[in-house]
Copies of this chain bind each other. A is one copy, B any other.
Amino acid sequence: MGRSSMSEAENKTGKGARVPLTPDRIVEAAFQVIEEVGLDEFSTRKLALKLHCEAMSIYHHFPSKAHLMDALVDSTLADLPPVPDDLPFPERVRVIFVGFRAVGLKRPSFFQFLSVHRLNTPFALTVLDRIIAEFRIVGFDDRTAAHLFRMLGYYVMGATLDETNGYAKGGTSVQVITEDDLRRDYPNVSAAGAYFSAENWDAIFHRGLNILLSEIETLARELPARKA
């Protein structure tokens, strides 16, 4: 009973034309596997399984798993939506960070990787450069631009991380608490907990973002006028 699978591409001896491995195919499959099994359980062997190839074949296209993970970071950042040209200042920054949260939520398990890694790749730096440019172009000095950029980054990164932690596979403590225990032993968590569910996330996120952005807008208005 030789293995026969009429679905999907199949390398090795199986019939069906060998679908060539490419960096893009590998990256896409990696995202799938990560979201299916969680970041901790993601391995080159499971990725190979998804790709119907051997683990070491991946190494012809990426010199190491770390290089692959870097490519996933870049691919994630490439998903960021463009900023409309005619959008004015504080809103430009808003759509960038709202977009960042959106791409993060699309891949909760992978975001756990992204959040603990410095965005050091050339492409990531290009993205960061554009964001920081938004602050400098409206007249903020370097120091203030740095502060405001990081401030917003903190908030959005923290928010997205917290939200993705709720969705990502794994990452929960070993002993879990029942609803009854919660009500009895942690009344405040229980009371507020009604507003911790996913349908409240948008409201919470935008509430904080609004606070930070309106402060930034106020600061921008105090800036010496810029030539048009």
Q: Which residues of A contact B (CB under 8 A)?
A: 64, 66-67, 70, 73, 112, 115-122, 124-126, 128-130, 132-133, 135-136, 142-143, 145-147, 149-151, 153-159, 161-162, 165-166, 168, 171-177, 182, 185-189, 191-196, 200, 203-205, 207-208, 211-212, 215
Give the distance in Å from the alpha carbon of A121 to the alpha carbon of B122 in the complex.
39
Quick check: A195 and B146 within 8 Å, CB to CB?
yes
Measured between C-beta atoms, what is the minimum distance from A211 to chain B in Å?
A: 5
Quick check: A151 and B116 within 8 Å, CB to CB?
no
Give the distance in Å from the alpha carbon of A118 to the alpha carbon of B207 in the complex.
22
Quick check: B173 and A70 within 8 Å, CB to CB?
yes
Interface of chain A: mostly helix, strand, loop or mixed: helix
Quick check: A161 and B162 within 8 Å, CB to CB?
no
Quick check: A73 and B118 within 8 Å, CB to CB?
no
Give the distance in Å from the alpha carbon of A173 to the alpha carbon of B156 in the complex.
21
Q: Could you say how many copies of this chain the assembly holds?
A: 2
Among A156, A158, A204, the most chain B Cβ lie within 10 Å of the Cβ of A158
Residues of B within 8 A of A154 (CB): 155, 158-159, 162, 205, 208
User: Are A126 and B161 also in contact (CB < 8 A) when A154-B208, A192-B149, A208-B212 are?
Assistant: no
Quick check: A117 and B215 within 8 Å, CB to CB?
no
Residues of B within 8 A of A215 (CB): 211
Give the distance in Å from the alpha carbon of A128 to the alpha carbon of B188 in the complex.
8
Measured between C-beta atoms, what is the minimum distance from A41 to chain B in Å?
A: 13
Quick check: B120 and A172 within 8 Å, CB to CB?
yes
Residues of B within 8 A of A174 (CB): 64, 66-67, 70
Quick check: A125 and B70 within 8 Å, CB to CB?
no
Give the distance in Å from the alpha carbon of A7 to the alpha carbon of B182 in the complex.
47
Q: Which one of B129, B133, B151, B165 lies within 8 Å of A208 (CB-CB)?
A: B151
Quick check: B188 and A147 within 8 Å, CB to CB?
no
Among A73, A129, A154, A176, the most chain B Cβ lie within 10 Å of the Cβ of A154
Measured between C-beta atoms, what is the minimum distance from A205 to chain B in Å?
A: 8
